[in-house]
Chain A
Amino acid sequence: MGRKLDPTNKVKRGPGKKTKKQQGAETELAKFITDEETGPKRLSSRGRKRAAKRVQNSKKPKVAAEEQPKKGFTDENSKWLKPAKRKRKIDEPESEDDSDEHWEEEEDEEEEEQQQQKGGKDQGKKGAKLGVKKVVEEKKKEDDDDDDDDDDDDDDDMVDDYGTLEDGSGEEAAEEESDGEELLPIERAAKKAKKMKEAMGLGSDDDEEEEEEEDDDDDDDDDKEEENKSDADMDEEDTVQANIDEMDQFKLPGAEEREKEGVLPLDLKSIHQRIKDNIDVLCNFSTKREEGKERAEYISLLKKDLCTYYSYNYFLIEKLIDLFPLSELVDFLEANEIQRPVTIRTNTLKTRRRDLAQALINRGVNLDPLGKWSKVGLVIYDSSVPVGATPEYLSGQYMLQGASSFLPVMALSPQEGESVLDMSSAPGGKTTYIAQLMRNTGVIVANDANADRLKSVVGNIHRLGVTNTVICNYDGRQFPKVMGGFDRVLLDAPCSGTGVIAKDPAVKTSKDDTDIHRSAHLQKELILSAIDSVNAESTTGGYLIYCTCSIMVEENEWVVDYALKKRNVKLVPTGLDFGKEGFTRFKERRFHPSLKLSRRFYPHSHNMDGFFVAKLKKFSNVIPTAPAAKEEENADAPEATVVTDSPEEKPAKSDKTKKTVPGKAGDLKKKTQANGTAAKKIANVKPKGKKDSLAGPKKAKVAKMDGETVKGTKAKKPAEKTTDETKASKADKKDGSRFEKKQGKKTKTPLKAKNRIGKNKFRKLKHMLGKPDVE
């Protein structure tokens, strides 16, 4: 039952039952309201004197203050026994009152400068102990400081003591906060204080001093008044400085504190605050750093906090810190905590977006077009019916698909009548989009290595009314053997899934270095198979789209760079005008400059799943032999069809290639080093081959020659040169099959390919080659 607010009610006073009852609302409320909203009180003379003293005693050792309560109850300590006036803002006024009182009582007369210096140190210590827990509270505290300064005129004011320790740090934190906001609240407070003191005849400007203003001893006031006036300006600067110093001491907790944290139950709020402050310090490191603390310490603390707060494993956090600038890092992590909006794609084979939108709205779905970049996308905000079970869905008028999955198909832009291969098609969203862009003409081969997931492809294809598709269940790496010569190929490679953490939080803790490298290795094999399946001479196509739902450089740029080195492909613009450009360099790796034509998408900046898209054009069907041609048979076949050149020209060309090589050699070296595992694996296969091939000087020379000339294939005339090489090498070998094997193994050692032939040996070789080639 609510109490009625009735001003005519007379409140009973004095001892007795009736006074102890709860009074009317007005009186109860009055108790709560009074203290918070009073402006700066006018001080009595004593009050003014106390204020002056507070100014002097601003930064007296808090340690002393802290020790006070421990000493036991004395008359000086009595104040803490009295209940606080304001119970709402427990920490703020109480803390001020306590510390102020203690300091005033302890040390009457000290110079302000000394106080400030000590105060700085002490606050530092306090801060170190308690962390930045009460920043917000402290902020309020500061704002109210002026208001509260003279509230406790009475010596009898009692404030609960349990805030003391916290209060010290709180003050620091408050100062830190205020510093963070460029001293606006401090300035405000300073101005207020100035005004007050002017009114009182005191000259103190420090906020800290105001916070701590409490009862002053009369003796000290007179002396301090003068000091305060003269030092007013000094104080202001000093406090600002002191504030900044305290900010820096966004303390790095020491080892003991960390252990404590490990033991205590997690205080996520404080960790979150610590993360924010840490990033703040790191962003302005030169100004905000703690003396003697290295950047690495801040970063290691940040990593650990991020791991705890967002539940990632350390490996992934390290990778993310490398990828994103600190300002974006938290955005990215936050974006991974929430789901991306549900999006659908209209099936233009059966309906139009307009009609579909109308039908769905009639069913009670709240939706909007996806964006200017898509004519078939719709984003669903909320729905009263399950979106995946409406009659429109069942009749195949739309498909549930993530916005990021539209992008690779848009980049692929398949034309009508083409033959397209989708190497990892499950669950069939991209395949059906390709089919609708092709209007059910041409042929699509939808492949997936996982037979269970193929069922969903079958279901989706039939549901959406796609008729031009063949569905098969091969490992993607087998592809050129099964079928080749496609106009376009889409490879949505299996990846670590670090871009779709929002959909699958298990990725946060389950991914490891080995996982990433395993994925990368598989992706490299797949991309080479995909390239080999494209027909470079296609009249309308010759394109490959490589995409992943991962943000790791090892799975994206590195793989594409690898493909650029191993095959006759080049990057072309994706046609997507939004998204971040791919990296051309990352940590110690350097990629081909055309990598900036690829696109990266992030959940926090584009509001779609993390994604990477790269569009490659194959300009020659010839497979460069020396750097690890995976399918020798295929390599030989297309090469055989290429124009023949005289063997004599070959040495000349190889000279040219040698010349062009030096420019590339450097890159090659770097790239081969960067290729790491892939190259090494290939190299491992080769040594055996090398032994066979080193049967005679001829063969060794041929091998070296091939190695060298292969580098040249990446120069202007790759096709011709490779044919030259292969022809020469073929001509040399009498036994074709033996030759192929050896050549393959030879060419797979890019490291060994660096061996150079001496001038005389080269002439010899030239001579030798001259004879068989004549045939």
Chain B
Amino acid sequence: MRPLTEEETKTMFEKLSKYIGENIKLLVDRPDGTYCFRLHNDRVYYMSEKILKLATNISRDKLVSVGTCFGKFTKTTKFRLHITALDFLAPYAKFKVWVKPGAEQSFLYGNHVLKSGLGRITENTEQYQGVVVYSMADVPLGFGVAAKSTQECRRVDPMSIVVFHQADVGEFIRNEDTLT
């Protein structure tokens, strides 16, 4: 386990800010202690410093996970955000999309969100903006990228995609193995 390098930190924060903007600061400086990011086996883990201390006692090959995994760095050093980060993205999300109950299942299976399944969308969402997807009961379901800006969403036909799927909670069952 090692701290992130400058490069890696920059890449990761850029990715995160697509979804939560400047609220990244809130992730690091929290009222209940300092939290930090650490890299282990190409994955980025988010944990409090207390846990960090304990985790250093564990040998590298035996350590499986610490705190919350945010995502991983691919072989080409791009950062990919995992669904496990949803709990931290959701409260700070800047742009949100609500999905109708009928389209919930479809999104949870990994499909994109169509105009017909779109319930609400935050104003001023730009195209290709990172968004967090919610159900109508305000339960976070995952996140994605807006395919159309809010204005366009109103105009477009029902069968066109409005949100590209990136991660959804259904992956906990579908991709259990890849979480670690």
Tell me if A774 counts as interface (CB < 8 A to partner B).
no
Tell me if A576 counts as interface (CB < 8 A to partner B).
no
Give the secondary structure class of B's interface. Answer: mixed
- Between A and B, how many residue pairs show CB distances below 8 Å? 96
Tell whether, in the assembled complex, residue B54 and residue A455 are in contact, meaning their CB atoms are under 8 Å apart: no
A57 to B118, CA, bound (A): 92
A392 to B176, CA, bound (A): 17
Contact with B along A369-403 (1 / 0, CB 8 A): 00000000000000000001101101111000000
A469 to B139, CA, bound (A): 24
Chain A residue, CB-CB nearest to B105: A391
Tell me if B162 counts as interface (CB < 8 A to partner A).
no
Tell whether, in the assembled complex, residue A394 and residue B169 are in contact, meaning their CB atoms are under 8 Å apart: yes
A376 to B179, CA, bound (A): 27
Could you tell me the distance in whole angstroms from the C-beta of B133 to the nearest C-beta in chain A?
12
Tell me if B76 counts as interface (CB < 8 A to partner A).
no
Counting chain A CB atoms within 10 Å of each CB, the highest count among B47, B140, B180 belongs to B180
Tell me if A605 counts as interface (CB < 8 A to partner B).
no
Residues of B near A366 (CB, < 8 A) are none
Contact with A along B155-180 (1 / 0, CB 8 A): 00000000000000110110011011
Tell whether, in the assembled complex, residue B63 and residue A455 are in contact, meaning their CB atoms are under 8 Å apart: no
Tell me if A419 counts as interface (CB < 8 A to partner B).
yes
Tell me if B135 counts as interface (CB < 8 A to partner A).
yes
Tell whether, in the assembled complex, residue A459 and residue B48 are in contact, meaning their CB atoms are under 8 Å apart: no
Tell whether, in the assembled complex, residue B66 and residue A459 are in contact, meaning their CB atoms are under 8 Å apart: no
Tell me if A491 counts as interface (CB < 8 A to partner B).
no
Interface residue tally for chain A (C-beta within 8 Å): 34
28 chain-A/chain-B pairs, Cβ below 8 angstroms = A359-B137, A391-B141, A394-B108, A394-B169, A394-B170, A394-B173, A395-B169, A397-B139, A441-B32, A443-B54, A454-B180, A455-B179, A458-B69, A458-B179, A458-B180, A467-B47, A467-B87, A469-B67, A470-B54, A470-B58, A470-B63, A470-B65, A471-B64, A471-B66, A472-B63, A472-B64, A473-B63, A473-B64
Contact with A along B78-114 (1 / 0, CB 8 A): 0000011001000000000000000010001000000
Could you tell me the distance in whole angstroms from the C-beta of A186 to the nearest C-beta in chain B?
63
A472 to B54, CA, bound (A): 11
Tell me if A463 counts as interface (CB < 8 A to partner B).
yes
Residues of A near B25 (CB, < 8 A) are none
Counting chain A CB atoms within 10 Å of each CB, the highest count among B57, B63, B87, B135 belongs to B87
Q: A395-B169, A467-B47, A482-B58 are in contact. Are A455 and B68 (CB under 8 A)?
A: no
Tell me if B50 counts as interface (CB < 8 A to partner A).
yes
Tell whether, in the assembled complex, residue A458 and residue B65 are in contact, meaning their CB atoms are under 8 Å apart: yes
> From residue 21 to 73 of chain B, which have CB atoms closer than 8 A to chain A?
32, 46-48, 50-51, 54-55, 57-59, 62-69
Residues of A near B58 (CB, < 8 A) are 470, 472, 474, 482-483
Tell whether, in the assembled complex, residue A470 and residue B68 are in contact, meaning their CB atoms are under 8 Å apart: no
Tell me if A308 counts as interface (CB < 8 A to partner B).
no
Tell whether, in the assembled complex, residue A443 and residue B50 are in contact, meaning their CB atoms are under 8 Å apart: yes
Given A391-B139, A395-B140, A458-B180, list of 13 further CB < 8 A pairs? A391-B169, A395-B139, A395-B141, A397-B139, A441-B32, A455-B180, A459-B176, A465-B87, A470-B54, A470-B63, A471-B63, A471-B66, A474-B62
Residues of A near B137 (CB, < 8 A) are 359
Tell whether, in the assembled complex, residue A468 and residue B139 are in contact, meaning their CB atoms are under 8 Å apart: no
A626 to B55, CA, bound (A): 34
A396 to B170, CA, bound (A): 11
A154 to B1, CA, bound (A): 100
Tell whether, in the assembled complex, residue B172 and residue A463 are in contact, meaning their CB atoms are under 8 Å apart: yes
Residues of B near A670 (CB, < 8 A) are none
Tell whether, in the assembled complex, residue B108 and residue A483 are in contact, meaning their CB atoms are under 8 Å apart: no
Could you tell me the distance in whole angstroms from the C-beta of A434 to the nearest C-beta in chain B?
15
Q: A454-B180, A455-B177 are in contact. Are A445 and B54 (CB under 8 A)?
A: yes
Give the interface size bracket for B toward A: 35 or more
Residues of B near A55 (CB, < 8 A) are none
Could you tell me the distance in whole angstroms from the C-beta of B1 to the nearest C-beta in chain A?
10
Could you tell me the distance in whole angstroms from the C-beta of B84 to the nearest C-beta in chain A?
4
A227 to B139, CA, bound (A): 91
Residues of A near B62 (CB, < 8 A) are 472-474, 482
Counting chain B CB atoms within 10 Å of each CB, the highest count among A441, A443, A445 belongs to A443
Q: A395-B169, A461-B65, A465-B87 are in contact. Are A455 and B176 (CB under 8 A)?
A: yes
Closest 6 CB pairs of A and B: A394-B169, A462-B84, A471-B65, A471-B64, A458-B180, A463-B172
Chain B residues with a Cβ under 8 A of chain A: 32, 46-48, 50-51, 54-55, 57-59, 62-69, 83-84, 87, 104, 108, 135, 137, 139-141, 169-170, 172-173, 176-177, 179-180
Tell me if A456 counts as interface (CB < 8 A to partner B).
yes
Counting chain B CB atoms within 10 Å of each CB, the highest count among A395, A458, A465 belongs to A395
Could you tell me the distance in whole angstroms from the C-beta of B168 to the nearest C-beta in chain A?
8
Tell whether, in the assembled complex, residue A459 and residue B54 are in contact, meaning their CB atoms are under 8 Å apart: no
Chain A residue, CB-CB nearest to B171: A394
Contact with B along A478-494 (1 / 0, CB 8 A): 00001100000000000
A714 to B63, CA, bound (A): 38
Counting chain B CB atoms within 10 Å of each CB, the highest count among A359, A388, A397, A455 belongs to A455
Chain A residue, CB-CB nearest to B140: A395
Q: A454-B64, A482-B57 are in contact. Are A468 and B51 (CB under 8 A)?
A: yes
Counting chain B CB atoms within 10 Å of each CB, the highest count among A392, A457, A473 belongs to A473
A456 to B180, CA, bound (A): 9
Could you tell me the distance in whole angstroms from the C-beta of A342 to the nearest C-beta in chain B?
17
Tell whether, in the assembled complex, residue A483 and residue B54 are in contact, meaning their CB atoms are under 8 Å apart: yes
Partner of B67, one of A388, A459, A467: A467
> From residue 418 to 459 of chain A, which have CB atoms closer than 8 A to chain B?
419, 441, 443, 445, 451, 454-459
